[in-house]
Amino acid sequence: MAEAARAGAEAARAGRDPTRRGGDLGFSAIAFVLALLPRLYVALAWAREPVWDGHYYDFGARRIAAGLGYSDDLLVGGQPVWHPWCHYPVGYSGFLGLVYKLFGAGPHVATVANAVAGALLVVVVHRLARCATTPTRARVAALLAALSPGLIVYAALLMTEPLAALGLVTAPWLLARDAARGRLVRGALLAGAALGLTALVRPQSLLCAPALALLALPRPGGAAGGARAAWKRGALAAAISAVTALAVVAPWTIRNCRVMDGCALVSTNGGWNLAIGAFPRATGRFETLRAGDGCPIARGQVAQDRCWMAAGLQWIKDDPVRWLALIPKKLSFTFDHESFPIGYLGEANPAAWPEERRAAGRWVLTASHLGLLSVAALGVVALPRLRPWRALVAQLAALAAVLGLIAWGALGDDHAFWPLAVAIPVIAALPLPGRPANGGVVGYLAFAVASVALTHAVFFGEDRYHMVVTPALCVLAACALRRGEKR
């Protein structure tokens, strides 16, 4: 946690400790209110009947709130028969089901809950950023998250991404906070619980478990034993967190094994998604699978998902070059624009969203996202200094690479900004002389960006999938062009 140590040293000179209990809570409260107000407006004024996947999340939540579990009813012989689900992850429907149980299922209950969750996300971004950088930069990160047009508009959508994003930043904050206070095991347990709940919303969040090791590394001079002991400490924290996360998920997995036609860790859409990204009609984004594409026999959800998994693997094996050639398109669909929220609102309320207004909304969201992604890529590059010369050359090269990718995205025919998302974890991992402190929180966030890029390079891309790392990009952007490490 070298960057946490640097932030602590700078804050200490100003009489503040970023890991101290209650540090800058006043600004966290201000950020919560600042984030909540626009989200509440959107949640109340723009929300309509849920559409697309939001319809299924809402239906599942209402069944859960009614005590019927994650299920629907099938008519067999004219009689309704209870039929369990696990095609979509249960976490978001479970969250809404609890809200409906407490407050009823009125027309704006779910979107108001989204607004509150979105405001809490901003608070956690602020607290996490304080473990990564200076108090001033942490405030900038919170403001970026609070005022993000995409995150604001998402309050009106019954979709999973903001809740998943909340979990992805809560887990590292809990571990970084407690590790800095000498409570490593408690922090690892809390982080694992947060990551397990997040996995129930978005299963691939479990990919970030190994990166939690970065948050447990001691500050320089804070522990004896050298690098080997430090990495043992990190590995212990990651292992505790991973085991705890799987323990949180386990009851749902056991439920699936008991009531479904086979076992599924969380959901049964992994095979579907692989097939969508690999079948002969694949374009790199979502396309509807048909029975004639490879799995014509109607069976249980688990068996059908396994069928599509086998078909997807076979298509990749038959033509790996074509599958690999789709990766740039998948990453482009994921990172090069931000239009899904506007499309959702237009589908839910076409009269209020004529094409001219939709185009303007897409432009605002896309421009803000690409600007954030561009600045976030500078979060792993140091401000070049004249000495030593090796560090100057290395950081100038890294800066030139990032600026070159930004120019390529802005001026190129394809307007491809997705290489920046790939560059963030690559540059963060390179041991360049004079680099900023790219371990700890920054390393975890870079890893989170890599996990999204890798997931959708394998499966398929849509712009809504980058929303889970928009808060991570806010912290990275606030860390842009920090001072480099002395050694």
pLDDT tens readout for residues 191-231: 999 999 999 999 999 999 999 999 998 654 444 467 888 88
Compute the distance between CA of residue 271 and CA of residue 257 in angstroms, rounded to an integer. 17
What pLDDT was estimated at residue 197? 98
Say whether the peptide bond before residue 388 is cis (omega within 30 degrees of 0).
Answer: yes
Helix (H) or strand (E) holding 75: strand 71-76
Burial of 199 (0-12, 13-18, 19+ CB in 10 A): buried
* SS3 call for 81: strand
Residue type, 459: F
Task: Give 444-460 as a DSSP string.
Answer: HHHHHHHHHHHHHHHS-
- As a whole number of angstroms, the distance between CA 97 and CA 475 comes to 31
CA-wise closest residue to 35 among 199, 138, 148: 148
- For residues 257-279, give the mean pLDDT: 96
Quickly list H helices, 20-160: 25-45, 53-65, 91-103, 109-130, 135-146, 149-153
Question: What per-residue confidence (pLDDT) applies to 221?
Answer: 45
pLDDT of residue 16 exceeding 80, the answer is no
For residue 473, give both structure tokens.
Answer: 């990009």
Residues belonging to the chain: 487
DSSP type of residue 202: -
User: What does DSSP assign to residue 386?
Assistant: S
- Is residue 84 pLDDT above 60, yes or no? yes
| Separation in Å, CA 457 to CA 286, 331, 422, 451 | 13, 6, 11, 10
298 phi, psi to nearest 5 deg: -75, 120
Question: What's the pLDDT score for residue 225?
Answer: 60
Average pLDDT on 225-246 reads 92
Residue owning tokens 């900004």: 417
Residue 213 CA to residue 441 CA, distance in Å, equals: 10
What φ, ψ does residue 473 adopt, rounded to 5°?
Answer: -65, -35
| Res 10 pLDDT > 50 | no
Q: Which residues pair with 84 in a beta bridge?
A: 71
What's the start-to-end Cα distance of the chain, in Å? 15
**CB burial string 104-142: b at 16+ within 10 A, e below:** ebeeebbbbbbbbbbbbbbbbbbbbbbbbbbbebbbbbb
What mean pLDDT value characterizes the chain?
A: 93
Q: CA distances (Å), 55 to each of 164, 261, 285, in order?
A: 18, 24, 21
Query: Per-residue confidence at 296, pLDDT binned at 50, 70, 90?
Result: confident
pTM given for the model: 0.94
Q: For residue 483, give the DSSP letter.
A: P
- The C-alpha atoms of residue 394 and residue 436 are separated, in whole angstroms, by 12
Q: Minimal CA–CA distance to 98: which of 154, 163, 33, 26?
A: 163
321: phi > 0 → left, psi -120 to 50 → alpha, else beta; which?
A: alpha
pLDDT digits (tens, 9 = 90+) for 95-128: 999 999 999 999 899 999 999 999 999 999 999 9
Contact call for residues 122 and 35 (beta carbons, < 8 A): yes
Averaged pLDDT for residues 173-196:
97
> Residue 218: its pLDDT value, please?
64
| CB neighbour list of residue 247: distance below 8 Å, 6 or more residues apart | 192, 196
Token reading at 37: 């107000």
Q: Is the pLDDT of residue 341 over 60?
A: yes
Q: How confident is the model at residue 485 (pLDDT cuts 50, 70, 90)?
A: confident
Measure Cα distances from 119 to 122, 145, 267 in Å. 5, 9, 28
| Residue 22, pLDDT score | 61
Q: If we measure between CA atoms, which residue out of 148, 231, 240, 144 comes closest to residue 185? A: 240
Q: Which two tokens stand for residue 261?
A: 């036609």
- Rounded distance between C-alpha atoms, residue 357 and residue 9, angstroms: 48
Name the DSSP letter for residue 52: T
| pLDDT of 260 over the 50 cut | yes
